Structures are given as C-alpha cells and as structure tokens.
Chain A
Amino acid sequence: GEDVEQSLFLSVREGDSSVINCTYTDSSSTYLYWYKQEPGAGLQLLTYIFSNMDMKQDQRLTVLLNKKDKHLSLRIADTQTGDSAIYFCAESSDYKLSFGAGTTVTVRA
C-alpha cells in the first residue's frame, strides 16, 4: 500500500490540547481517516475528511488537511484520561485502507 507516516508517541497533560500529525504519499487519496484503538479493543472510527475539504470539526476533534503537503492532523481539545489510546491515520482512494503505524497518546495528570 501507499506510505502513511505518523510519529509513534505523544505525551500530553490532562486538559491541554493534543495534536497528532500524519503524512501520506498517495496523491489520489480521496478520504482520510482517524481511528482510535483502546487497549485490548479493535479500531473505532473517530472522524474522517474528504480530500476537497481542509478542515472538519466535531466536538473536541478538529481535523486539518493540507492536500498540497499531504499532511493531516488531528487536534483533541481539553484532552482527558479517556483519550489515552493509539490513534491511527489512514487513507483510501477506494474501499481499501492504508494505515500508519499509530501514535500512542498518553495523558498524564
């Protein structure tokens, strides 16, 4: 599959904002996703953005897409302990998903 890269770890203080970054290489990507994986569980879709958008907001989540630079970010406002998880960036140009390695977010008190 196409390359999707993200940093592996992020530590954030409770109440601060978290920003998780992702870069991808497939210029034909039409959908970009953020999935969340809690310990011992499968992946759950958090949000997604269509490639003709540059921003999407959903409650505490803000997704920013820079299509020119092929850069995607997820901002979590007011990070809580329940936000501790692995976050995966993924892209698709059809029904097939290509995932990044995942960013482990640790929320400290």
Chain B
Amino acid sequence: EAQVTQNPRYLITVTGKKLTVTCSQNMNHEYMSWYRQDPGLGLRQIYYSMNVEVTDKGDVPEGYKVSRKEKRNFPLILESPSPNQTSLYFCASSRGLPGDEQYFGPGTRLTVT
C-alpha cells in the first residue's frame, strides 16, 4: 500500500531535549516536505527536499533541521525544542512535478512543556 508513515504519532517532551520525528514514504517520490498545523493558521511549510541531499527552507524553518540521506526518509530534527514548537506536524511527499498530489502522513502531535 502506498503510504507516508510518521513516528511517533504523539510525543510529550520538555524544553531543550533533542528529538527526531521520522518520515518515510514507499512511493519512490522525489519531493518530501514537512508542515506544521496550528489553529487558525492552516499548514505552514517548515522544510522541503527535492531529492537526496537537496533540502531547502520553507516558510517557518527556525528551530528545525532536516536531512535527506536516502530517498525514502526525511526526518525532522528539533535540536532544542521550545514550547512554541508545540504543534501538529505533517510529512508529505510527491513526485515533485507541478500540480502533483501531495500525499500526507497521519501527523505527529508534539507537546513541549
């Protein structure tokens, strides 16, 4: 089954404790992206990647890092999480062509206390 998986689905952590949210897709997609969803703000793009070893900032990259060492994986790293990073995070992938559908993961709800 074609899918985007994220782990963990839920995470509660404390300020400053490094964490990684994993994202994996099995569709051989070139393009992968991370979004955060906050009430009243919709989805805002954090980082995206057009291919292996090619990453670029989205609209809200501060406080986040990503890597793309393999085509299928695109982890999101929070080196020193802060409470304003409490949010619902979505990973998405697509073939990377204009107009292509983006396939979304199920989401990771992160709470930073």
Chain A interface (Cβ < 8 Å from any Cβ of B)? 1, 4, 8, 30-31, 40-45, 48, 50, 88, 92-102
Contact = CB atoms under 8 A, between A and B. Distances in A.
Interface residues of B, number: 28
A43 B98 contact: no
Contacts, number: 63
B75 interface: no
Contacts of A43: 43, 90, 92, 102, 104
**SS class, residues of chain A in contact with chain B:** loop
Interface of B: 4, 31, 33, 35, 40-45, 48, 50, 58-59, 90, 92, 94, 96-102, 104-107
Contacts of B33: 96-97
11 contacts: A30-B99, A31-B99, A40-B106, A41-B106, A42-B92, A45-B101, A50-B99, A93-B98, A95-B97, A96-B58, A97-B33
